[in-house]
Structure 1
Amino acid sequence: MQNVTAIFDIGKTNKKFFLFDANFQEVYREYTSFDTIEDEDGHPTENLPALQKWLKNVFDSILNEGKFNVIAINFSTYGASLVHLDENGEVLTPLYNYTKPLENEIIESFFEKYSPEDEFAAITGSTNSGMLNSGMQLYWLKTKKPDLFKKIRYSLHLPQYISYVFTGIPLSEYTSIGCHTALWDYSKKDYHSWVYAEGLHKIFPPIVSTETSINMNYNGKRIKIGVGIHDSSAALLPYVRSIEKKFVLVSTGTWSITLNPFENGVLSKTEVKQDCINYMRINGKPVKSTRLFLGNEYSHQIKILSEHYQVSEDYHTSVAFDMELYLKLKKDFQHRFSWKALNSPEMPTRTVLNYDTFEEAYHQLMMELVELQVKSIKMAQGAMSIKRLYIDGGFSDNEIYIQLLSDALKDMKLRTTDSSLGSALGAAIAISDVKLNSKFLKNNYSLKKHVPFITK
């Protein structure tokens, strides 16, 4: 039988299961999704019982089939989510969705009690984002549902809960603690003082390295079981392990997240105002990050352009970079687009589409969006001299985005990568003993080099 590592990659929508061989090549996959259920307040949330049942059924069936020899298993999941267990190890509450509104008086009372908001954000790497700061979920529970809070024996971050389903051992690990949770003090490299003041440290299990694994007898088979990892940190790991020089990674999609894993300092108040946050590497070091709602804005503007120029909504995918159009627009450049979900001081109060063709308007749109992307990249880069830039996700296939970005950042070597398996591969690498070499991205991620175009 072929030796494989099993990975559960749990997203908000899709739940995925992979098997990887010794070279991190995918040899099996299985996907599913579940309808959301409602918490006690009627807010949609994860169907945790259905998820737990699926996890066990999928893994047990793979073991029982006997086609693969599973030597290890690990877990990558979305963050900002906690599962609360009682003294018997039973789940106490729904998995509260990080989109659930948090009352203003809760937030105001917290900052009044503990710290000015901007200072707190800088120290914790967590801008005020309501339930997206998972530590605030516990503060909310303790304040609003004290009787329920008293029953909590352990609060597990979601990746560690998925691991707990298989091991029965409650643990905490760095990447989950450090992802904009408002729990971690990056200056002290410990939980923030408010965590101790509220007694939350008593319900958080011991912190272990993300590379920790537990050798267990599972259904009669000896298997190495990982402790789980936050998906953004997992997606970053293959780059950190295979690239020797400093780099910035831009992971594009609905959100465009720029990650700088080489910044060791606490965020400044200026960076916080620019929506900088911290993620965390598996060794506890901060990852300075900026967020841009790029894909969301792009989709909104494409609908407007498609309707205005009476073309199909997928027409934009066929538009190639046109040097003459670009130079014409650049010569008399003005900002023409009013954003829906973004904000920039240069944008007009309303969108002005005084172009004859979709192609011209589309080039203008991409020039303005890339301008914002460049600012986001430079904010994450800070004063550091970083010469390598990697782009993955949806926009890595957008020729105009890549051409404009390479032109705007001529001093950086731009590379694109293609891997829909990023966070799953990261989870597999986290518990492997394999050292990655410089060819890993080329062999596993379809690495492509891009050079700036030359204008006459």
Structure 2
Amino acid sequence: MDGCVVVFDVGKTNVKLIVFDRNRAVVAERSQANGPLQPSVRWPYLRLDTERAWDFLLAALKELGARYPIATISITTHGAAGALIGDEGLALPPMDYEFDGFEAIDADYDAARPPFAETLSPHSARGLNLGRQIFYLERTFPNDFACARAFLAYPQYWAWRLCGLPATEVTSLGAHSDLWRPNERRLSSLVERQNWTRLFPPIRHAWDTLGTLKSEVAAATGLSPSVRVVCGAHDSNASLVPYLASRTDPFTVVSTGTWVIMMAVGGKGPPDPDADMLANVDVMGRPVPTARLMGGREFSVIAGGAPAEAGERDVAGIVAAGVLAMPAFTDQGGPFAGRKGWIEGETPNDPAARSALATLYSALMTHHMLERLNAPGDIIVEGGFNRTPAFSGVLAALMPGRTVLVAPASGAAEGAAMLARWGEPHDPPQLAPAQAWDVPGLAAYAHRWRQGLPRPAPAA
């Protein structure tokens, strides 16, 4: 296929447009900060800023389309997001999952949601269960909800805005949503009981071409109306795509950013919903044992507002001083989200030392959950934590005898670009072995940290 693939990557913190040439090389990128709209009198909940993201997308497509031969647009977005659409556009503004105002419906929703064994979705804080968002909107705005014609997960919402064709896709529905039965590959009993089935368009593959650009989008961007629009995928699952296409042995991808998502292809650890373990669903529709924590957010809390890069000496200094960061530093996601975190020992003031403490915490939490997953094979680290060697260096030091590999680019964007060329041969991603940092006393430090973790409640 000739021409470039553009990936629209909608993250929780940033929105990006990335141009890949036919050799999968990134030739251009544009980005802007992303954030929610605050509650208003009309809409008393935290909302996704769809129009600001849309304006960015059109402007970036116009600019980059004048420089590169864009043939296809593929989409990947963060999870726990979707939109109810009506005949003329949005039936209701989409909710940001960090909204914390579900008190009026929580008890009814918790009674209605399916058991973990059905959906492999753990009970999650705020709006991280996508079904809770839909339930809230139906109860709070019944007239607007009645006008909805379809519910689209966030990647498919953007595809619909570009080409006008609605679709359902399993990677977003299978991401802790309460809306999907991963083992049965069908909508959940919650959807059936709430009579929401009518809202879900036909299921399409993440790599399917839904259509071509709407005429008004082509006119606004200067792109050809023949530009293809691909269905798209949830970002964590898009991160898996390059490795699903190139590996047959079990492996684990640690996708890092605002969230740290650990996906263990071939993982054997029993899923524990109380530890925020779940199943993601890959682009083939298969459940993947997964654990998650809001690692990037916690890193920022520990490191402070102006983090500096941490080196081996900084990490060694924290270990020698015996300073521990104990979970948790956010109330969303992870095995200890209901527990208030604290610093044991003297909190460092030096920015590099604080980053070192945050790095140790992030690596220890990741290692802890990889053990819970019984994660097999190589450990592949991708995403934001790879901006410096610190995280992978400490993680490799915590896992002697295991192979930790560093992905040079964002797997989510690369995976979304591969979806646009599904079926074509691809070279495997170029991965570099992580160099384990030499930190004296790290094993004893890690043992002390583990001893401070809360023990699971005994079985009744």
Aligned residue for 1:8?
Answer: 8
Aligned residues: 424
Aligned residue for 1:380?
Answer: 373
Counterpart AA for 1:424? A
- The CA deviation at 1:283 is 0.9
Q: Is the CA contact 1:417–1:448 (under 8 Å) kept in the aligned structure 2?
A: no
Aligned residue for 2:110?
Answer: 111
Distance (Å, rounded) in 1 between the aligned partners of 2:45 and 2:349: 46
* CA distance 1:121–1:322, change in 2 (3 Å): same
Distance (Å, rounded) in 2 between the aligned partners of 1:360 and 1:169: 51
Are residue 131 (structure 1) and residue 127 (structure 2) matched? yes
Q: Counterpart of 2:379 in 1: which secondary structure?
A: strand
- The CA deviation at 1:60 is 4.9
1:363-388 Cα deviation digits (max 9, x unpaired): 77755553332111112235xxx231
Distance (Å, rounded) in 2 between the aligned partners of 1:407 and 1:27: 35
Which of residues 399, 403, 407 in structure 2 aligns to 1:413?
403
- The CA deviation at 1:437 is 3.0
Aligned residue for 1:177?
Answer: 173
For the aligned residues, what is the CA RMSD?
Answer: 3.7
Distance (Å, rounded) in 1 between the aligned partners of 2:339 and 2:225: 62
Aligned residue for 1:153?
Answer: 149
Q: Is the CA contact 1:320–1:399 (under 8 Å) kept in the aligned structure 2?
A: no
Aligned residue for 2:448?
Answer: none
- The CA deviation at 1:126 is 3.4
1:240-275 Cα deviation digits (max 9, x unpaired): 22233211112233432212133599x64xx11111
Q: Counterpart of 2:238 in 1: which secondary structure?
A: helix
Q: Is the CA contact 2:312–2:437 (under 8 Å) kept in the aligned structure 1?
A: no
Unaligned 5+ residue runs, structure 1? Answer: 305-312
Counterpart AA for 1:155? F
Which of residues 418, 430, 433 in structure 2 aligns to 1:441?
430
Distance (Å, rounded) in 1 between the aligned partners of 2:57 and 2:188: 34
Aligned residue for 1:371?
Answer: 364
Aligned residue for 2:96?
Answer: 97
Distance (Å, rounded) in 2 between the aligned partners of 1:10 and 1:454: 37
Q: Is the CA contact 2:310–2:355 (under 8 Å) kept in the aligned structure 1?
A: no
Aligned residue for 1:82?
Answer: 82
Distance (Å, rounded) in 2 between the aligned partners of 1:189 and 1:369: 34
* TM-score for the superposition, normalised by structure 2: 0.79
* CA distance 1:113–1:158, change in 2 (3 Å): closer
Q: Counterpart of 2:177 in 1: which secondary structure?
A: coil
* CA distance 1:167–1:217, change in 2 (3 Å): closer
1:57-456 equivalences under 5 Å are: 57-60=59-62, 62-63=64-65, 65=66, 67-86=67-86, 88-113=87-112, 115=114, 119-120=115-116, 123-214=119-210, 216=212, 219=215, 221-263=225-267, 268=271, 271-303=272-304, 314=307, 317-321=309-313, 336-339=324-327, 341=329, 343=336, 351-353=344-346, 369-381=362-374, 386-396=376-386, 399=389, 401-419=391-409, 421-432=410-421, 433-438=423-428, 440-442=429-431, 447-450=432-435
Counterpart AA for 2:237? S
Distance (Å, rounded) in 2 between the aligned partners of 1:355 and 1:147: 54
- The CA deviation at 1:355 is 9.6
Counterpart AA for 2:95? Y
* CA distance 1:276–1:340, change in 2 (3 Å): closer
- The CA deviation at 1:221 is 4.1
Are residue 46 (structure 1) and residue 48 (structure 2) matched? yes
Counterpart AA for 2:367? V
Distance (Å, rounded) in 2 between the aligned partners of 1:26 and 1:149: 41
Distance (Å, rounded) in 1 between the aligned partners of 2:323 and 2:17: 45
Q: Is the CA contact 1:237–1:426 (under 8 Å) kept in the aligned structure 2?
A: yes
1:74-133 Cα deviation digits (max 9, x unpaired): 1112221221111x2421211211111242342211232455xxx337733233333221
Distance (Å, rounded) in 1 between the aligned partners of 2:92 and 2:341: 46
Of 364-373 and 240-249, the range deviating more from structure 2: 364-373
Aligned residue for 1:308?
Answer: none
Distance (Å, rounded) in 1 between the aligned partners of 2:146 and 2:348: 63
* CA distance 1:150–1:361, change in 2 (3 Å): closer
Q: Is the CA contact 2:251–2:377 (under 8 Å) kept in the aligned structure 1?
A: yes
Q: Is the CA contact 1:82–1:157 (under 8 Å) kept in the aligned structure 2?
A: yes
Distance (Å, rounded) in 1 between the aligned partners of 2:117 and 2:105: 16
Distance (Å, rounded) in 1 between the aligned partners of 2:33 and 2:258: 19
* CA distance 1:133–1:364, change in 2 (3 Å): closer
Aligned residue for 1:307?
Answer: none
Counterpart AA for 1:59? L
* CA distance 1:166–1:320, change in 2 (3 Å): same
Unaligned 5+ residue runs, structure 2? Answer: 216-223, 331-335, 442-460
* CA distance 1:79–1:321, change in 2 (3 Å): same
Of 208-217 and 93-102, the range deviating more from structure 2: 208-217
Counterpart AA for 1:341? F
- The CA deviation at 1:361 is 8.8
Q: Is the CA contact 1:370–1:405 (under 8 Å) kept in the aligned structure 2?
A: yes
Q: Is the CA contact 1:9–1:17 (under 8 Å) kept in the aligned structure 2?
A: yes
Of 127-136 and 20-29, the range deviating more from structure 2: 127-136
Q: Counterpart of 1:225 in 2: which secondary structure?
A: strand
- The CA deviation at 1:188 is 2.2
* TM-score for the superposition, normalised by structure 1: 0.80
* CA distance 1:196–1:441, change in 2 (3 Å): same
Counterpart AA for 1:99? E
- The CA deviation at 1:217 is 6.9
Of 30-39 and 179-188, the range deviating more from structure 2: 30-39
Aligned residue for 1:310?
Answer: none
- The CA deviation at 1:183 is 0.5
